Structure formats: structure tokens, C-alpha cells
Structure 1
Amino acid sequence: MNSVISLASSFPRSGLLGMAFMMLGTLPGCESRDQAGGDNKKDRAQPVVTQSVDWQPRQVRIEAVGTSRAARSVTLFPEVTGEVVEVTLKAGDRVKAGQTIVQLDDRDQRLAVELARVELRDAERRYGRYQRTRESGSVTESALDDARSAVERARINLNRAEVALDYRSIDAPFDGHIGISDIDPGAQVDPSTEITTIDDRSSLLVSFQIPELFLGQIAEGQAIAVSTWASGSPQHQGEVLEIDSRVNPQTRTFDVRAQVDNTEDRLRPGMSFRITLDLAAGRYPVVPEVALQWGNDGAYVWAVDGGTVSRVPVTVVQRLQGKILVESGALPEGMSVVTEGTQRMREGLPVASIAGL
């Protein structure tokens, strides 16, 4: 007995407690409670909240600078040389198609038209007489043919005279607004003299460039938003009208032309615009923001497949409100990902899924 006490007195109290536990652990039936229930705890499925994976396009907003022109625009030049006798409209006036803007001196041309009409009437009367006397044999077929040809020549001369007369007036080819002109009555003009401009600005054509990356993702009829650079200017809606057939090898962009309604006449040709265009670029899995985890090797999610979880690496593509577009080949549409309980997850752990709201 004394030997036992002396042995105990030679060890610290903590050492004795450790030895006692070690001895108890070697006795049959003395397994710890944790060891007895460990296997059952390992096999028991962990409750987690999950949510299904959806796929949706990546929304890309493109902003570009565009330059506008009128839907129809023309610079007027005279067809002939002459003296201006009248300017009927001034800058800013609205003109109708066919309305005369500048009138040149046309006295000689009017006389030429009258002379051509007289010659035509004479030729027609001569041809009529020859036809009436044809049966009597007093007019040969050759003379009749010459009279017929004379009528045709006279008609052509009249048409040419009328065209020359038309050239003496400069008319609007379509409805629009007149631009500034430096032409006054008495001025001498020729075919190289710029008279004025006409713009049909009921709608504008806005041209801009898009990176070649988005070629094939823009279609005719696609909506765009157009706004001026003035602070607080309202947005105007338009649609894509034309897409160029080639990419510029220097800028790696392609041209797009859109049509913008301007019936209220607030915009002007030549203005520059800020273009906003929303595009859908590919389809990607979208997961809840709370499902995304980060590790030493990057982002990942816990995916549920067959009642167990697995770690799936992902690459963040775009952040949305409460959701994240990711890139991964192991997240098919409809697969569930863990949104709550991620801190308890490990590879291959059985889980009981509770669908998230």
C-alpha cells in the first residue's frame, strides 16, 4: 500500500488523470460516447437549403458615339449656267416636293418651246394631208414616210425644249427643310455652284461602330436608346436599320446604322449622340449570390447530385442583383446548389435538400 501511494506521489495530478483515461480506454465496453455514435453521425444526411440552377443570357450594355444625318438629304446644284432671277424660299423654310426654290432666267427657253410646238403642228398638218391624198396616188410612200419622220423629229425637239426650260428652275425633290443659301437674285450660277441643301428630318439615321466581338448578336429591328450630350436631355428610341457586311481591319469594328424618329423635330442632322445598346452574349448558369464560395484556388459552389454534394469550380462572368452568372461545364440547368449550410459541407457528404424559396 505504501508503495502504491509513493508511486502516485511521484506523478503530477494531470499525468495521473491522463493515465487513468488511457487504462479505461483499453477495457472492454469502455468506448467513448463520441466513438460509439460516430458512424451513425457520419451516415446521417445533413439538412441544407438548395436552389435550382437556371441558365440565362449574359446581358451586355454597349455605349457608343454616333453621328446623325437626315433620312433624306441632298445638296442642290443647277443643271445649266444662267442668271438667278428669283429666290422663293429662305433658310429654315419647309418645302414640298416639286416646289421651286430658285428660278433662273428662262426667256430663251420659253421661246424655244413655243417654236418647237409650232414646228410640231406644221409637221402634223403636213402628215395629215399626205394621208388624206394617199388613195388618189398623188403622194408617194416615200413622201409619206418623210412626213411621218418629220412629225417624230418635231415632237422630240419639243421635248428637248421643255427639258431645257425645266432646267431653268431648281425644284425640291422631296419634302424637307431648306438650308442656308448664299444665292441672291442677279447672281450667275453654273453646274458647280451649290444652291442650298434640303433635309427630310422627320427621322434621322445614326451611324456608329460596334466591336467585332458582338458581330452576329445585333439584328435589324433591335431597339436602341439615343440621347444627346446635353445635361438632362431626354432619351429617344430607335431601331437598328442596317448592319455593315464587313469588319474594319484597322479598328476591328463594324458599322451599324439606326433610325431614330424625329417627328417632334427636336433633333438635327449632323448631331452626335450617345448610343446605348443592350445585347445578349451567350448563355451561362446563374446561381444565388449566397451559394458562391471562395477558396485558395478560386470560386466554387457546392452542387447536389444523387443526394451528395460535390465541389464545383466556377468562374464569375457577371454579377446581377442577388445572383451571379458563372461559367462552368458541370452545372446543367436544373441542378441544385447549396445556399444555406455551406460551412458544414465536404466532398461526398450526404445531404437532405430543402428547396429554397
Structure 2
Amino acid sequence: MFFLALHLLAGCEAGSEAAPPVQLSSAQPVVTEAVAWQPRRVRIEAVGTSRAARSVTLYPQVSGEVVEVLFKAGDRVKAGQTILRLDDRDQRLAVAQARVALEDAERLYSRYERTRGSGTVTESALDDARSAVERARLSLRRAEVALDYRSIEAPFEGYLGITDLDPGAQVSPSTPITTIDDRLTLLVTFQVPELFLGQIGPGQSIDVATWANGSAEHTGKVTDIDSRVDPGTRTFAVRALVDNREDQLRPGMSFRVTLNLVSGRYPAVPEVALQWGNDGAFVWVVEEGRAKRVSATVVQRLQGIILVDANLPEGTPVVTEGTQRMREGLSVVDIAEV
């Protein structure tokens, strides 16, 4: 019995000597993901108010009685088209009288000019006749301008608004006749937070849509940026030009404005890779097989990733699993590469 026990013990020792020793790695296993740089994209939404690219309220130059209204609301008129006439009988008579005076002055000057050098007309008389012709011409021009003021014309091509005037109405230079809008293009003005000052420039594209459900979007281009920030709202005004050749929009409408900005490129790291400490955010990277802590500042949070401002070149492996066991200089191994 004793001999059997010694035999079994010797067999166990022989078997243990035959088994190869197990070599345990000292490197900490982790999972990493390569850093990829992405542009920072910001979507700005604002409420915009529109006006026509050219829009004025028309007033008469002089007082008088309306004798003819030549338009109705919504009419499209061309530049120079007459839309309203005032009583101009006195002005027409004044033009006719000025023409007669000019003809008389020209005849007298012509007669004096023919006798020049004969000694019958002095140079002084000839000069007076010449001045009389010029004065008559000026009087005629003044009379013609006064006659022109009796007709109100469209200053540019556009659509006319409603008028409250009828033939027989008395008007003065302070009486509004109607409005005219060149709505081929609209100017849309909206407010942007001061944070984005310097990131928006002329020529940048925007999308606008009315507040009606299912309304089509229209595109525009930024044309003007205000030179100051409103201290009350901490915003600055931006104006964009929106094409309206299909005439679907109207001046004065409000719009939902969307502006997409691209501002710089930043390292993108997975959300799980970003850690927080007493001195802020950081990530663990693998450099020559060892863990290294790199400080990071959050720039933008996206779906599943975070854009950071950090010294992370493209392709740098950041630790996504095993971060709780990391310390500076720790030897690590990516299990995906084993």
C-alpha cells in the first residue's frame, strides 16, 4: 500500500515536469478605433421677414385733382407707364404760352443777327436778345416739367397695390397713391446669434420655406451682413436674396430660414472614448504600444461621435474599451490585432 502511494506520487511529479509553463502577457488588452477628421457642420434655423427687392410707395409731386386712375390692384406695369393723371389744363396752357414766347425771342434774335455788322444793332442789344432766348427756353422747360408732374408714372417694372383714390379726389404731395413692388426677387432678413459672426459671408446659400405644412423650399444667397450686433438680443442681421420668378411668394411674408455652416475640421472620436477628469475631458491613445492621455475640448456632439479640439492626427488609435484600467505609460495591446 505504501509502495503504491509512492508510485502514484512519483507519477504526478513526472507529469507536472512534462507540462509546458504558461506565459502570461503583461500588456493590458484594449479595443481601439482610429481617429477620423470631419468638418464641423452647424444647422441654423431662424425666422425671416421678406420685402421686395425694390419697393416704394408712390406720392404725387404736386397738389391737384385726380382725373384718371389707370390701374387696379395687382396690375403688373412697366417702367414709365402712367398710372394716374391730375388735372393739367393750366399746365398745358403754360407750355403753349412758353413756346410762343420762345419763338418770339428766337425771331428777334435772328433778325438782330442778320443785321450784325451793319451798325443798326448794337452788341449790347444782340446780347440781350441772346439772353432772352435762353430765358424763354428755360421757361418752356419749367412749364414742361410742371406738366409732367401732373402724370404719375411707375418708376420701375412691378406689381401695383391697392389705392383709395378715385377721379375727383384732391391730392397733395403727402397723399399716398399706391405701392409698387418688384417681387421678381425677395430680400429676406433674419437674425443670427453673435456666436456665428465671421462664419457667414456673402454668396452663402440658404433655404427658406413658408410656415404652411408641405410648403416647397426656395433657395437664396446671402447678400448683406449687418455691421453691428444688437446688444439686447446678441444677434446680428443677415439679408439674403431669394429667387421668386415663379411668383409664389409675396413681400412681407415670414419664412423659416435654414442655414448650414461648415466651420473647420476636427478629430472625431467615439462617445465611449471621451473621459472626464478633474482638469476636463481627455482620451486615451495608444502610442508605441503604451497608453497616453491626451486632453480634449468638446467642439460638437453628433450621433455616436464627438468632435474635439485635441492633438489627434488622422488615424491615431483611441481606446474605446478598457479605459477604466488605463494609466499613463501602461503597456497595452489591441485585442483586434492579436
Q: Distance in 2 between matches of 1:119 and 1:352?
A: 108
Q: Distance in 2 between matches of 1:141 and 1:108?
A: 38
CA 1:173–1:355: 2 relative to 1, 3 Å = farther
The one-letter code matched in structure 1 to 2:317 is: S
Match of 1:64 in 2: 46
The one-letter code matched in structure 1 to 2:111 is: R
Trace 1:26-105 onto structure 2 (pairs within 5 A).
33=21, 37-38=23-24, 41-42=25-26, 50-51=33-34, 53-105=35-87
CA 1:293–1:157: 2 relative to 1, 3 Å = closer
Which of 226, 230, 248 is equivalent to 1:266? 248
CA 1:145–1:293: 2 relative to 1, 3 Å = closer
SS at match of 1:220: coil
Match of 1:323 in 2: 305
Q: Distance in 2 between matches of 1:293 and 1:117?
A: 90
Q: Distance in 2 between matches of 1:295 and 1:113?
A: 89
1:208 correspondence with 2:176 = no
Match of 2:10 in 1: none
Does the 8 Å contact 1:223/1:277 carry over to 2? yes
1:218 correspondence with 2:200 = yes
Match of 2:273 in 1: 292
Question: Normalised by the size of structure 2, how large is the TM-score?
Answer: 0.85
Match of 2:145 in 1: 163
CA displacement at 1:47 relative to structure 2: 8.1
CA 1:334–1:135: 2 relative to 1, 3 Å = farther
The one-letter code matched in structure 2 to 1:305 is: E
1:307 correspondence with 2:279 = no
Q: Distance in 1 between matches of 2:140 and 2:277?
A: 92
Match of 1:20 in 2: none
CA 1:66–1:130: 2 relative to 1, 3 Å = same
CA displacement at 1:131 relative to structure 2: 1.2
Match of 1:176 in 2: 158
Match of 1:118 in 2: 100
The one-letter code matched in structure 1 to 2:100 is: V
Q: Distance in 2 between matches of 1:109 and 1:275?
A: 52
The one-letter code matched in structure 1 to 2:127 is: D
Q: Distance in 2 between matches of 1:292 and 1:47?
A: 12
CA displacement at 1:348 relative to structure 2: 2.6
More moved, 200-209 vs 249-258: 249-258
1:237 correspondence with 2:234 = no
Q: Distance in 2 between matches of 1:167 and 1:307?
A: 89
Question: Normalised by the size of structure 1, how large is the TM-score?
Answer: 0.81
CA displacement at 1:352 relative to structure 2: 6.0
Does the 8 Å contact 1:212/1:252 carry over to 2? yes
Q: Distance in 1 between matches of 2:277 and 2:216?
A: 48
The structure with the largest alpha-carbon Rg is 1
Q: Distance in 2 between matches of 1:296 and 1:208?
A: 41
SS at match of 1:146: helix
Instruction: List per-residue Cα deviations over 1:70-129 (Å, max 9, x = no partner).
Output: 000010111111111100100001011000111101111111111111111111111111
Match of 1:195 in 2: 177
CA displacement at 1:174 relative to structure 2: 0.2
Q: Distance in 2 between matches of 1:119 and 1:324?
A: 87
The one-letter code matched in structure 2 to 1:116 is: A
Structure 1: any 5+ residue segments left out of the alignment? 1-23
Match of 2:9 in 1: none
Structure 2: any 5+ residue segments left out of the alignment? 1-12
